[in-house]
Amino acid sequence: MSTASTRLPEGRYGRSTDERADRTLKIVGAVLAAALLGLVGWFGYHYVAQSEISAEVISFEPGQESVQVHLEVRKDAGADGYCTVRSQAENGAEVGRADFHFDGDATRIDKVVTLRTTSPGTTAELLGCHTG
């Protein structure tokens, strides 16, 4: 016994709709991937190259009513900006937050700042730096 073939003869009826759909999906996928790659690249460039001020917490010393925070700030010469620092209590509640301004021609600033707190703070966290 032989079984009848259900396949259409090659080349007789043109391409199937599945092949057209696959090609269309590949093209749409490639366009979307290129757009996503371009968007990620633009945001990456903007974040890294356009950043005029950045900082990090070197150390901190908690106290009863304040936290001493040692900040190292790197910025473009002549750029003015500020960094936001916060402190949290042992239970995670925020007990202090302040902006510290930096200006001048120096490109690297080491500074110990005092963050006043409403109760004893156990952390010092740099939330971010901004120009302006």
User: Per residue in 62-71, pLDDT tens?
Assistant: 989 999 999 9
Could you tell me the CA-to-CA distances from 29 to 12, 18, 21, 23, 32 in Å, in that order? 30, 16, 12, 10, 5
CA distance 74 to 89: 28
The confidence score (pLDDT) of residue 53 equals 84
DSSP state of 37: H
The confidence score (pLDDT) of residue 41 equals 92
Contact call for residues 60 and 93 (beta carbons, < 8 A): no
The confidence score (pLDDT) of residue 16 equals 64
Judge whether residue 13 has pLDDT over 70.
no
The confidence score (pLDDT) of residue 1 equals 55
Residue appearing with tokens 């900040």: 71
pTM, entire model = 0.61
